[in-house]
Amino acid sequence: MGPGAGRAALISNRKVFNLFGEKVLHALRSSGFDVSVWLMKDGEQHKSMRSLAQAITFFSKSGLERNDAVVALGGGVVGDLAGFAAATYLRGVAFIQVPTTLLAQIDASVGGKTGVNTGAGKNLVGAFHQPRLVLIDTDTLQTLPQRELTAGWCEAIKQGAAGDRKLFDRTVRLLERVGTHASSVQHAGGVRIDVAATIAAHCRFKAAIVAGDEREATDRTDRRSRKILNFGHTTAHALEAVTNYRRFRHGEAVGHGMIVAAEISKGLGMLKPGELELLRSAVRACGPLPPADDVEIDKLIRAMKGDKKSVGGQIRWVLLDAIGSARIVDGREVSTRALRRALRAGLQTP
Ligand code: NAD
Ligand code: MG
């Protein structure tokens, strides 16, 4: 958006647009924008090269120019696709995120990663393209289904557990006092719980980590590197792949994955048992997870070895010294026996 920005190309999907589209259109138009709208199909399978091509055609037909802006209204699927389209159209136009899922509000909309899936893998093609603005209205969470809330809260617990003890405690307090459906200021037991302020704290946390390691440098292994945000993700990606992406929402798989990583940490003598129990109860507070105790452990281990987060064929585990303090550990330091034990213990229903 340069001076004289005139047009906004809004990307959303039918479901989200029916809920909030009119409000957003009104706000943009009353700020002087000419708005054109394209509704992409809903669902992860549409975060694709095909949708990307459709978005580019839409921009071109709308007459979108270098000084104009792309606005994403929706969850992480809409945000990633619209962001990648904005990153590539005319070699990059301004981009605004209006995330409407909890996961997109605390995680996907912040940090500038955009991209699409291809037949060869998830998020295989993408670009770093920072949004000019992330605009969050937590009232949108009121219509979000329970499983989407659970998935989002699991990623929130992840952010606290990996890098900020206070944020972890604050998130757990919110979940225990007002539950997963909280979307605005609430009063519980005489305490004021401001959900929006907690979500803002998560955005600040993620933004701070990203600011220190914007492109996730492959050689960084310190506890402020962007990689710590992958806490719980080695097992999560394996669980999602082995169940053909059908059983778990991504955040739900992260819920299980965090417990496995904490079990490994405990097994290596890094994490105190009491800290593992705290993490377990935090994950429980996020809501019920689909079971994972029937998934074949050998299949999981094979899937982990093929994950793109591994470097030189080695898994890099994000483990915990304590809640709020992550350590990146080379896969060779975790024996297959220790890994099996952690998977067996960690994948019991938390
Ligand atoms: P999603 O975008 O598929 O949204 C989940 C569902 O909720 C969809 O059906 C959506 O239409 C619906 N929805 C959205 N807002 C709603 C509302 N307010 N009320 C009711 N329904 C609503 O899923 P998601 O969890 O938001 O995002 C997942 C995607 O985000 C994945 O593709 C993942 O790769 C990506 N992601 C990206 C980053 C990043 O850094 N770029 C980080 C994490 C995840
Ligand atoms: Mg994630």
Closest CA to 28 of 71, 81, 92: 71
List the domain boundaries for the chain: 7-136, 145-346
Residue 99 Cβ inside 6 Å of ligand 1? The answer reads no
What single-letter amino acid sits at 108? A
> CB under 8 Å to 219, separation ≥6 — which residues?
none
Closest CA to 43 of 132, 154, 139, 148: 148
Residue 115 Cβ inside 6 Å of ligand 1? The answer reads no
Tokens of 254: 């992260």
Q: Give, for 317, the enclosing helix (H) or strand (E).
A: strand 316-322
| Topology given in CATH for the domain delimited by 7-136 | Rossmann fold (3.40.50)
Q: Tell me whether domains 7-136 and 145-346 share a fold.
A: no
Task: Output the tens digit of pLDDT for each of the chain's 350 residues.
Answer: 545 569 999 999 999 999 999 999 999 999 999 999 999 999 999 999 999 999 999 999 999 999 999 999 999 999 999 999 999 999 999 999 999 999 999 999 999 999 999 988 889 999 999 999 999 999 999 999 999 999 999 999 999 999 999 999 999 999 998 888 876 777 777 777 789 999 999 999 999 999 988 888 888 888 889 999 999 999 999 999 999 999 999 999 999 999 999 999 999 999 999 999 999 999 999 999 999 999 999 999 999 987 655 566 678 999 999 999 999 999 999 999 999 999 999 998 75
Closest CA to 36 of 82, 103, 92, 88: 82
Quote the pLDDT of residue 72. Answer: 98
Distance 254 CA to ligand 2 centre (A): 7
Question: Is-contact 141 196, C-beta < 8 A?
Answer: no
Question: Is-contact 309 233, C-beta < 8 A?
Answer: yes
β-bridge mates for residue 318, sequence order? 328
Quote the pLDDT of residue 310. Answer: 56
Name the burial class of residue 213, with classes exposed (0-12), middle (13-18) and buried (19+) by CB atoms within 10 angstroms of its CB.
middle
Distance 250 CA to ligand 2 centre (A): 7
Q: Is domain 145-346 classified as CATH 3.90.76.10?
A: no
Q: What is the pTM of this model?
A: 0.95
Quote the pLDDT of residue 177. Answer: 87
Quote the pLDDT of residue 91. Answer: 97
Distance 13 CA to ligand 2 centre (A): 22
Tokens of 251: 């955040």
Q: Residue 15 CB: number of other CB atoms within 10 A?
A: 13
Ligand nearest the Cα atom of residue 152: 1
Tokens of 348: 């019991």
